[in-house]
Amino acid sequence: MDTPANLIQATGLRKSFGTLEAVRGIDLCVARGEVLGFLGPNGAGKSTTMRMLTGFLQPDAGTVNIAGVDLATDPLGAKRNFGYLPEGAPAYFEMRVEDFLAFSARARGYRGADVARRVNLAVARVHLEPCRGQRIETLSKGYKRRTGIAQALLHDPPVLILDEPTDGLDPNQKFEVRQLVRDLGKDRAIILSTHILEEVEAVCTRAVIINRGRMVFDGTPKELDARVPAGVAHNRLDHIFRTLTAVNSKERA
């Protein structure tokens, strides 16, 4: 089967919880070489959408395709095509980095020498060599994030889905993780959920903003900046974000 132009293709995603319409018709597409920043205020439906994209939550309507594989009809096949870093980079903190990665590789079906090869490649790709023998609980937040990204890369997937990868990091750690994401995005499709607006300019080639379960912006960082009114010199992205996500704003731009 030929690989589609869009490695992530979500169409018409909807999800309600009782009377609350959390997601109301979201369309997303991400091609190889794109890093898509996925933004929205608290309660916008961002986390619900991310859970549907990764198969942790079934949509009430809509479809998700990962590298041409339908997530609903072939969930295991679709999940083989992406690596996922959940928010906070959860792991077995009492394990050493290389042991955790080996455990993750075996969970993905790798055996024997292939486990060590996969671990070594992932460690090298995210520059974990200095701490591969350390217990995860002793790592800085930046290296914990790197460990989480390494487990997402073990099977060399064409798609990465990263949930708040720099949240809580200091400026140096943010710089390192952002540089890593930029490098990884050269030959993959990446969707990066964030609430940090500067991340859009620093890392992303495109940005999608949702509000009250609907998309209100889809474009490049330059196109987002161009929507800032003349005369606004400071906190430009903050200004347009507030405008797009105000309670009385239009539901779609």
Burial class (CB in 10 A: 0-12, 13-18, 19+), 75: middle
Question: Which residues, including other chains, have CB under 8 Å from residue 158's CB and lie 6 or more apart?
Answer: 3, 7, 32, 67, 81, 82, 188, 189
User: Looking at residue 253, what is its pLDDT?
Assistant: 40
Query: Average pLDDT of each block of 10 consecutive residues along the chain (253 residues)?
Result: 78 96 96 95 91 95 97 96 87 94 95 96 92 94 90 95 87 88 93 88 93 94 84 73 70 42
pLDDT for the residue numbered 158: 96
Those residues whose C-beta lies under 8 Å from the C-beta of residue 77, and which sit 6 or more positions away, are 69
- Annotate 99-108 with b (16+ C-beta within 10 A) or e (fewer): bbbbbbbeee
The CA-CA-CA angle for residues 214, 220, 223, to 5°, reads 90
CA distance 167 to 120: 26
What's the predicted TM-score (pTM) here?
Answer: 0.89
At 198 the pLDDT is 85
**Mapped to the 3 state alphabet, what secondary structure does 11-67 carry?**
EEEEEEECCEEEEEEEEEEEECCCEEEEECCCCCCHHHHHHHHCCCCCCCEEEEEEC
pLDDT value of position 248: 46
Residue 233 pLDDT: 63
| CA atoms of 34 and 49, how far apart (whole Å) | 19
pLDDT value for 141 = 86
Contact 206, 34 (CB under 8 A): yes
Strand-pair category, 189-193 with 159-163: parallel
- pLDDT for 4 equals 66
Superfamily of the domain at 1-81+158-253: P-loop containing nucleotide triphosphate hydrolases (3.40.50.300)
Query: What residue ranges of the chain are covered by domains with CATH 3.40.50.300?
Result: 1-81+158-253
What is residue 86's predicted lDDT score, i.e. its pLDDT?
87
